[in-house]
Chain A
């Protein structure tokens, strides 16, 4: 059994996407690269490791999708194994109220416009998504 800091290949991670952003198109079933774009000051793109038998204290997809009250969010789920096969690393960054928090460290605000970052964001959006759940309304 791995320690909480070591992210297993069999884990699923989840990225929260605002429904109003249009960064997930439910009609075409498409996630947009912008869903993985780093924000100001980001040193990695935030994701949540999903709850499992091994990590029951991690967030569910609904909990991971919680955002601004009154707005709806999708939970975009990806396989850690798929990312690693493509050379993309996910690093555990537990937070006090969110022990399953992690970051895709290859994507930072500083490098977000590089060719490599554009390719990573496009790969994540177009090839790495396992499923999308929601939308969930935040309270």
Chain B
């Protein structure tokens, strides 16, 4: 299965975290309805992120003040591709989606002491950066394989 991987073939499928989009114990009929509703809500949440932020930033870069360089078209296109890729593989929704101030975009996942970032730079390069507390534990350039 295609993975997000570094040049050293490290993969990050489990590091970011997966969303549980299936209920634990339900009858067959309930499972079908609830599972379908949960999946729908999950996909809609991703759509809100993509439409509400990434596409909006492309249309209205002037929302940012002069000190922030709006995300480039290259970065936004790569970020949208990454978001779609993460959604299709049930990766946890980011807890944050922000501009990096230099033309790039950052997906954040912050859960307690664990903090991970997928940084899409202005030229479309992607880095996976992980922290425990404020201690950097890894930084790898990754590609969508």
Contacts and interface: CB of A to CB of B under 8 A. Distances in A.
B20 to A, nearest CB: 21
B17 to A, nearest CB: 16
Interface range on chain B: under 10, 10 to 19, 20 to 34, or 35 or more?
A: 20 to 34
A32 B95 CA distance: 11
Given A20-B63, A30-B96, A71-B65, A118 B106 contact: no
Nearest to B108: A32
A5 interface: no
Contact of B98 (A32, A68, A119, A123): A32
A127 interface: yes
B28 interface: no
Contact of B96 (A25, A71, A119): A25
Interface string B92-123: 00011111110000101010000100000000
Given A30-B96, A30-B110, A126-B115, A68 B136 contact: no
B interface SS class: strand
The 7 closest A-B pairs by CB, nearest first: A123-B134, A122-B134, A22-B98, A18-B65, A68-B65, A20-B63, A71-B65
Given A22-B97, A126-B133, 16 more contacts: A20-B63, A22-B98, A23-B98, A25-B96, A30-B96, A32-B96, A32-B108, A34-B100, A37-B101, A39-B67, A39-B101, A68-B66, A115-B136, A115-B139, A118-B139, A126-B134
26 contacts: A18-B64, A18-B67, A18-B68, A20-B63, A20-B65, A21-B98, A22-B96, A23-B98, A25-B96, A28-B95, A30-B96, A32-B108, A34-B98, A34-B99, A34-B101, A39-B67, A71-B65, A118-B136, A119-B131, A119-B134, A119-B136, A120-B134, A122-B131, A122-B136, A123-B134, A126-B134
